[in-house]
Structure 1
């Protein structure tokens, strides 16, 4: 039985590599005891702002066996999105994860192929794929499976590749060989805390989501708070500051996923281009992009807030 667990795990990891994933780790499915009180406290302190959906499915967020019948293993996967080329300096900025096609679709198809391959080679396995669209604490599971540690900016960090990657999961009903967590390597560094333009990292390892530029520019549908005018550092969609300053991201290497390559027009857009953007240009430049989450009106709102 042990040999088959090792064999199956090795097969899954080699398939993940073939599909272009950066790394793959496996943890035993079960209730996340340490995360439960942290999540409850975070919600009680309204750190989620107006993201009401964060209050839903509390039990499912902490226990994958409530998402997949008979779940035994959580397979966590990382997919690199660090770009080769960046936007021009005189530009309103968008998070690097949104340069190319919407990651939900790109990763979901890879996960479906991985699950198909598992069924073809291991036998009938019941499982579900998750990409940031269901109540799964992906960073907690990735940390449990040894893919990195959760840093002071609350992102998953890896000594080998930094943090510019997506996290996804396959939750399956077979027992596998489980990986061990790695130790925290943030040390005494406070670069992310010191650099956050809106002081959203209220203390090491705790981010107040309701103060984050990503929250304001993507999630918040109301008017942007006037008291924060001038503190967004030209970020029009998302924010990468706490990742850009993290010393571990000096190990980031450009991705090799063609679907994450940006529309060339995006990289050359200046502030003037952003300010004059039309609905047609928005649809063309951000076709199949995660930027569509904020819609054209939302992006215009963000740009107007930055330029006034």
Structure 2
């Protein structure tokens, strides 16, 4: 006879699949012992740049039981966002694929809430919280622990069947479940394509990214002026960057997502170089009404576009 724990685990994974998650893995809610010294070293090296929030809640980042009372399980999920759609003008400043459609925070948080509701409805009184980039959680570490993949040299999680173009999110609940086995092998081998391709040399060691040099950080998180040392090195990215993922051989297994809300607007894809250089606040609000690009704000995006021009970088 199937135990309740196994039955509950199967029920949750089947519902996650029905909701559109590409994969679902589960780990025991415990202290991330291996990650503690890595995080401390990364912070001491000032690799978080101006992301001062990374210095907060050090203990909570390493122990989910401090985020959810009596936490027993961390359910890690991946949601595919890969697309073959591209901006039409090859000279246009570029936007990362993940920001083409609706803001993933909203879309995925809603699905996580549905999953939690389903658990409570079909299993019983289960307490928990849903997280999508919204709390001090080391998402990639938990995804690896839940058996979803391994950490690539670019520090992103890689899944053998789907590559790395997916969002990670979690449900932390007070229900014991059957736990998955983490991968014992790193399938990157001797490949260094991502390290070699990064124009700002942000990948300073395998699995270590100096955030203060990363194009995604410079175009989104950095609120002050972009340092002049990066002029001509931004590869024409105005919001985010996909270089280290685009170059990764494992992403030959990426498949286009099936999420309607992630579809880019025709207007966004059609905008040419001049359109971006002359973008108005009104156009920004219309094109990015529900987009994650709003994080950069109109002032941030226009700052980035001007910086690309100052570096005379027209790489496409």
Query: TM-score range, shorter-chain basis?
Result: over 0.9
Matches within 5 A, 1:76-95: 76-88=76-88, 89-95=90-96
Answer whether contact 1:84 1:255 (CA < 8 A) is retained: no
The residue that corresponds to 1:295 in the other structure is 297
CA distance in 2, matches of 1:2, 1:76: 23
In structure 2, the residue matched to 1:17 is: 17
CA offsets, 1:134-180, max 9 Å, x none? 00101000000000101100000011000000000000001100000
- Among 266, 269, 274, the alignment partner of 2:268 is 266
Report the secondary structure of 1:192's partner residue. Answer: helix
User: Once the 2 structures are TM-superposed, how far is the Cα of residue 90 of structure 1 from its aligned partner?
Assistant: 2.4
3-state DSSP of counterpart to 2:171: strand
What secondary structure, in the 3-state scheme, does the structure 1 residue paired with 2:172 have? strand
Q: Which whole-Å CA distance do the structure 1 matches of 2:4 and 2:262 have between them?
A: 36
Task: Give the superposition deviation at 1:84.
Answer: 3.5
Match in the other structure for 1:72: 72
Which of 186, 189, 212 in structure 2 is aligned with 1:187? Answer: 189
The Cα of 1:82 is off from its aligned counterpart by 0.6
Decide which moves more: 80-89 or 69-78: 80-89
Q: Tell me what 1:199 maps to.
A: 201
Q: Name 2:39's counterpart in structure 1.
A: 39
Give distance in 2, aligned partners of 1:278 and 1:291.
Answer: 15
Greater CA drift, 48-57 or 78-87: 78-87
Q: What SS does the corresponding residue of 2:16 show, helix, strand or coil?
A: helix
- Runs of 5+ consecutive residues of structure 1 not aligned to the other structure: none
Matches of residues 1-308 of structure 1 in structure 2 within 5 Å? 3-88=3-88, 89-182=90-183, 183-308=185-310
Question: 1:53: Cα distance to partner?
Answer: 0.1
What is the CA–CA distance in structure 2 between the aligned matches of 1:123 and 1:210, rounded to whole Å? 45
Measured after TM superposition, the shift of residue 2 of structure 1 is 6.9
2:140 and 2:270 map into 1 onto residues whose CA distance is 33
CA–CA separation in structure 2 for the residues paired with 1:84 and 1:228: 28
Give a deviation string over 1:201-227, Cα, whole Å, max 9, x none. Answer: 001111000110011100111111112
Whole-Å separation in 2 of the counterparts to 1:232 and 1:2 = 55
Aligned-residue Cα RMSD (Å) equals: 0.9
**TM-score normalised by length of structure 1:** 0.99
Instruction: Give ranges in structure 2 of 5+ residues lacking alignment.
Output: 311-316
Could you list the structure 1 runs, at least 4 aligned residues long, displaced by more than 6 angstroms after superposition. Answer: none
Cα displacement string for residues 221-250 of structure 1 (whole angstroms, at most 9, x for unaligned residues): 111111210000000001010000000000
Task: Give the TM-score taking structure 2 as reference length.
Answer: 0.96
- 1:133 offset after TM fit, Å? 1.2
